[in-house]
DNA sequence: CTATTTTAGTGTTTCGTTACACCAACTGTT
DNA sequence: AACAGTTGGTGTAACGAAACACTAAAATAG
């Protein structure tokens, strides 16, 4: 093993310049030296395989070129896709991404954020869309920038610097309208606890669409799985399964079910099958997210697509702008993009016969 | 925003001691001070909400308490689960985990590793099980420790410090034997490129089991999807779909298919359906990994379970031991655990009728 | 031909923490 | 009372990179 570590000093010696010049080369202050000097330094860097010590850079500058990303789950490929795209976008701007999986637990989230701040991260993208950012307040006071993914923030009063989200209400409306158009009148909802802004938005959208059609959404048709706190999507598919079984066992079961995300929807398939219902003949199911699996399963899932790649690009761009020039901050920092209804095979018109008795 | 950053000095002043003492408190050298002094310092830390600056710690000590984890994909929930468990295990020992998604591209892997090393990481867990570690050699020479997940390494000659893996051959054998036991004689394989040790091991196991039963595994029944390089599991399910369609279109199609992982298997379901085959009536399908979805889909997937949680615990434990006391290193650092056959509904005895013509 | 500006660098201090050498005040021993 | 040993600390010099204040030499102006 090569023992003596290569630092800026070794490079300087090899190139016959001072460490300051090497530093200038690294940081692109090309106007401070001749091209010949610069290339000599570059060559030394190359041959010595020098990489700047980020700890030292960070200690000097006071911050790291790092963005934290706190996601609610690693079991749902949707968040895997989000992480992947955020990471790609950030890297193009020279930033690294630290991915943390907090299972939507505020305590975990705060612990991660604390850790990230201590390691020099200036900004965090939070994807859990909690009702309150209280657990981040004292961190924001210490200068941490917070971006909200998956929920719309209205303005900076809460301390959030920017947000990018699909229009959750619109997503809920698209899904509900699709079912209404097919003739469904009794529609159930299977989701995790409606205690995050994203879920509240979606359910509001559903409710709006239904009420416009003169239909009520009784609480008895909304099934919320998972504990009050500390739940993830880890068992999203399991929850979907249980939820659908419960809804379909009601006195007057729904003819269609809107789920909180595609993993719930896949679980919903299983729950429906458990009771002998066929999708979409006996029950229609709509997902949310449009993960890759959605077009693979049988029947292919009708769902609401989130343009993940574009959303990731946008939030990274906004956040980096805020980091690098914390000037103007208002409008255009709180973005809401349109979701898209993807109609596949899991929805159909309701069967009017056999309305209130299981097929099983 | 509170402006003056709280450092060890502020804590020292508040507690009326020197910075050295605060440092001793932080690092648990309790024998260097009275209990009373210690609690005074602790109190100051609490009230000031002090967190040590990791960059400075790292600069001083020369390394970070951080482990890198390079996974092949974020689209396959299996790797999400691995990341989650590795992260949990590492945190219990006071380490952080940096998750990198390199899509099995050696160039990406090397870039990530370089970055990790520059940021002070001493050790990396590599989960892509490549044939060669050449692209890590110069990094290992610089002191980077490398642990292999998902492939068995025989000894330290390659520079790998430890490895934990399911016994891939045994996994392949279990899967093949299960199919043989059901009466299958013409068995196909759908997998990504067999250019990683894990895949080679699995296919070898399959081949061994078949040849013991006097059955040959012709190349024509092995479908390898994805490009030669730079492929991930991102489209694993898509690849599975295409692969099965191709195998089932052969002159003498297989009656059962072994897939590279559960995502391929889910894609295989779709591919079989595309041609009008029913699973398991017309074609049996076996997965690998046992992700949560496997028992949700219809039919529930017969697969080979990897004990992810235990494997993650083990590799983290081994690796941290190597980091903290780089003494003895041999045996017991290269661990292979037994996979488990989980029989569900995607496998059945072959139909002897209609052998070589599609049902569609 | 001198005065001024520009170019192309250099030397030193600093970031926050920790290791290490040091030391003052006690305790116990003879 | 003198001495050694222990306890409970303190002061300071690093770690590697970068900002800042410099300056020697060259270019340009008058």
Residues A186-227 have pLDDT tens digits of 999 999 999 999 999 999 999 999 999 999 999 999 999 876
Distance, Å, A61 CA → C5 C1': 32
The residue among A210, A276, A221 whose CA lies nearest residue A243 is A221
Closest residue in A to B4 (Cα–Cα):
A142
Distance, Å, B19 CA → D14 C1': 15
Cβ A206 vs Cβ A172: under 8 Å: yes
Write down the residue that tokens 């195998």 correspond to.
Answer: B247
Residues of chain B contacting A74 with CB distance shorter than 8 Å:
77, 80-81, 83-84
> Which residues, by CB, come closer than 7 Å to strand D?
A 5, 7-9, 19-20, 23, 26-27, 50, 52-53, 56-57, 59-61; B 16-21, 24, 31-34, 36-37, 56, 59-60, 62
**List of long-range contacts for A95-99, beta carbons under 8 Å, 24+ apart:** A95/A65, A95/A66, A95/A67, A95/A316, A95/A320, A96/A64, A96/A65, A96/A66, A96/A67, A96/B115, A96/B119, A97/A66, A97/A67, A97/A68, A97/A69, A98/A66, A98/A67, A98/A68, A98/A69, A98/B98, A99/A69, A99/A71, A99/B83, A99/B99
Residues of chain B contacting A98 with CB distance shorter than 8 Å:
98
pLDDT at residue A138, as a whole number: 85
Cβ B297 vs Cβ A263: under 8 Å: no
Strand A303-305 with A340-342, pairing = antiparallel
Higher pLDDT, B156 or A42: A42
Listed as ranges, the nucleotides of chain C within 7 A of a protein C-beta are: 7-12, 14-21
pLDDT at A350 over 70: yes
CA distance A14 to A40: 9
Binary contact (B120, A296; C-beta < 8 A): no
Residue A156 Cα, gap to closest chain B Cα (Å): 14
Question: With DSSP H G I counted as helix, E B as strand and the rest as coil, what are the percentages for chain A, rounded to 5?
Answer: 45, 15, 40
Closest residue in A to B61 (Cα–Cα):
A55
Of A45, A100, A119, A230, which to mutate for an interface test with B (greatest number of B Cβ within 10 Å)? A119
Tokens of A89: 């976008």
The residue among A356, A199, A214, A201 whose CA lies nearest residue A277 is A356
Binary contact (A83, B64; C-beta < 8 A): no
Tokens of B17: 């001691």
Which nucleotide across the nucleic acid strands is nearest to B57, CA versus C1'? C17
**3-state SS, residue B298:** coil
Gyration radius of chain A's alpha carbons:
25
Domain boundaries along the sequence of chain A: 8-52, 61-166+307-338, 168-305
Residues of chain B contacting A235 with CB distance shorter than 8 Å:
292
Domain B8-52 adopts which CATH fold? Answer: 434 Repressor (Amino-terminal Domain) (1.10.260)
Which residue is nearest nucleotide D16, judged by alpha carbon to C1' distance?
A: A56
CA distance B211 to B213: 5
Distance, Å, B20 CA → D13 C1': 13
Tokens of B21: 């003492």
Distance, Å, A213 CA → C1 C1': 95
Binary contact (A120, B54; C-beta < 8 A): yes
The residue among B165, B240, B175 whose CA lies nearest residue B206 is B175
Q: What top-level class would CATH report for the domain A61-166+307-338? A: alpha beta
Which nucleotide across the nucleic acid strands is nearest to B23, CA versus C1'? C18
Tokens of B271: 């591919």
The residue among A250, A267, A254, A125 whose CA lies nearest residue A192 is A267
Please list the pLDDT of chain B residue by residue as tens digits (360 residues): 445 778 999 999 999 999 999 999 999 999 999 999 999 999 999 999 899 999 999 999 988 899 999 999 888 999 999 999 999 999 999 898 999 998 888 998 998 898 888 888 989 999 999 999 999 998 888 888 999 999 988 877 778 999 999 999 999 999 999 999 999 999 999 999 999 999 999 999 999 999 999 999 999 999 998 764 444 444 788 899 999 999 999 999 999 999 999 999 999 999 999 999 999 999 999 999 999 999 999 999 999 999 999 999 999 999 999 888 766 666 688 999 999 999 999 999 998 644 444 444
**CB atoms near residue B309 (< 10 Å):** 15
Cβ A52 vs Cβ B118: under 8 Å: yes
**List of long-range contacts for B89-92, beta carbons under 8 Å, 24+ apart:** B89/B312, B89/B313, B89/B316, B89/B317, B90/B316, B90/B320
Residues of chain A contacting B241 with CB distance shorter than 8 Å:
296
> Which residues, by CB, come closer than 7 Å to strand C?
A 16-21, 24, 31-34, 36-37, 56, 59-60, 62; B 5, 7-9, 19-20, 22-23, 26-27, 50, 52-53, 56-57, 59-61
Close Cβ partners of B140 (under 8 Å, ≥ 6 residues apart): A1, B133, B146, B159
Cβ A89 vs Cβ A314: under 8 Å: no
Q: For the sheet containing A160-166, what is the strand order?
A: A96-101, A66-71, A123-126, A145-149, A160-166, A334-337
Listed as ranges, the nucleotides of chain D within 7 A of a protein C-beta are: 7-12, 14-21
Asked whether the domain spanning B168-305 has the same topology as the one spanning B8-52, the reply is no
pLDDT at A1 over 50: no
DSSP at B29: -
pLDDT at residue B328, as a whole number: 60
pLDDT at residue A331, as a whole number: 67
Write down the residue that tokens 């009708």 correspond to.
Answer: A302
Distance, Å, B29 CA → D11 C1': 19
CA distance B206 to B315: 26
> Given phi > 0 = left and psi -120 to 50 = alpha, else beta, which region is B340?
beta
Q: What is the CATH number of domain B168-305?
A: 3.40.50.2300
Write down the residue that tokens 């292919």 correspond to.
Answer: A300
Which nucleotide across the nucleic acid strands is nearest to A118, CA versus C1'? C16
CA distance B80 to B77: 5
The residue among A225, A229, A140 whose CA lies nearest residue A188 is A225
Residues of chain A contacting B5 with CB distance shorter than 8 Å:
62, 142
| The model's pTM | 0.88
User: Which residue in A55, A238, A266 is closest to B120 by CB distance?
Assistant: A55
Sign of CA dihedral A269, A271, A272, A276: positive
**Mean pLDDT of all residues in A126-151:** 91
Mean predicted lDDT score pLDDT of chain A: 90
CA distance B253 to B356: 6
């Amino acid at each position: 093993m090569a023992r003596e570590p290569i630092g800026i000093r070794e490079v300087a010696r090899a190139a016959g310049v001072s460490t300051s010049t090497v530093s200038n080369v690294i940081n692109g202050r090309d106007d401070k030296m001749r091209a010949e000097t610069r290339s000599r330094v570059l060559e030394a860097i190359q041959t010595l395989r020098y990489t700047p010590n980020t700890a030292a850079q960070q200690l000097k500058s006071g911050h790291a070129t790092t963005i934290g990303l706190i996601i609610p789950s690693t079991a749902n490929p949707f968040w895997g896709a989000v992480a992947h795209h955020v990471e790609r976008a950030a890297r193009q701007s020279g930033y690294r991404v630290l991915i943390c999986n907090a299972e939507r637990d505020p305590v975990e989230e705060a612990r991660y954020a604390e850790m990230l701040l201590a390691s020099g991260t200036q900004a965090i993208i939070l994807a859990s869309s909690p009702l309150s950012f209280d657990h981040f307040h004292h961190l924001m006071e210490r200068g941490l920038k917070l971006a909200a993914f998956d929920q719309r923030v209205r303005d900076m009063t809460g301390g959030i610097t920017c947000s990018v989200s699909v229009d959750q209400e619109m997503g809920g409306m698209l899904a509900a309208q699709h079912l209404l158009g097919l003739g469904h009148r009794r529609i159930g909802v299977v989701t995790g606890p409606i205690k995050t802004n994203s879920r509240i938005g979606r359910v509001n959208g559903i409710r709006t669409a239904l009420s416009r059609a003169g239909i009520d959404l009784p609480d008895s048709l909304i099934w919320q799985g998972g504990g009050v706190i500390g739940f993830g999507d880890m068992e999203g598919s399991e929850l979907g399964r249980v939820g659908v079984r419960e809804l379909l066992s009601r006195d007057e079961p729904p003819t269609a079910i809107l789920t909180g995300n595609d993993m719930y929807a896949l679980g919903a398939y299983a729950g429906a099958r458990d009771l002998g219902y066929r999708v979409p003949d006996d029950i229609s199911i709509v997902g949310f997210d449009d993960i890759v699996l959605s077009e693979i399963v049988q029947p292919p899932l009708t769902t609401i697509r989130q343009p993940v790649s574009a959303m990731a690009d946008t939030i990274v761009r906004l956040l980096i702008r805020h980091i690098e020039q914390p000037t103007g901050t208002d409008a255009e920092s709180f973005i809401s993009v349109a979701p898209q209804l993807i109609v596949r095979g899991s929805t159909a018109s309701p069967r009017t016969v056999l309305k209130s008795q299981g097929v099983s």
